[in-house]
């Protein structure tokens, strides 16, 4: 999240006028600025969301792999027990 806030701060800095500048913006200028801010802000949020989703799924996969390995070992133990009972 910190990275997202930093990216938004950088975006605000990029879209802000230079310090000490004076001027007027037309309706068209404001619309263009708002469109850029909304588009770039949305992209920042989307990328962060995708990264968090990827991390969450990697954790889930690791959990499932761990559970699978435990179950596979348990099956092997049961097979050995069955083989021992057959003798």
> 3-state secondary structure string, 65-83?
HHHHHHHHHHHHHHHHHHH
21 contact partners, CB below 8 Å, separation of at least 6: none
Please compute the mean of the pLDDT values over residues 32-47 and round it to a whole number. Answer: 93
Per-residue pLDDT at 79 exceeds 90:
yes
Cα separation of the two ends of the chain: 61
Give the relative orientation of helices 27-86 and 2-15 as an angle to the nearest 10 degrees. Answer: 160
Per-residue pLDDT at 2 exceeds 80:
no
Q: What is the pLDDT of residue 1?
A: 61
- The model's pTM is 0.63
> For residue 64, how many other CB atoms are within 10 A of its CB?
10
Whose tokens are 């559970």? That residue is 67
């Amino acid at each position: 999240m910190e990275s997202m806030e930093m990216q938004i701060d950088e975006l605000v800095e990029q879209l802000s006028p230079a310090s000490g500048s004076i001027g007027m913006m037309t309706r068209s200028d404001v619309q263009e600025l708002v469109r850029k801010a909304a588009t770039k802000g949305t992209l920042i949020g989307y990328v962060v969301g995708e990264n968090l989703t990827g991390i969450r799924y990697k954790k889930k996969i690791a959990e499932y792999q761990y559970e699978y390995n435990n179950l596979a070992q348990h099956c092997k133990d049961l097979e050995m027990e069955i083989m021992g009972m057959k003798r």
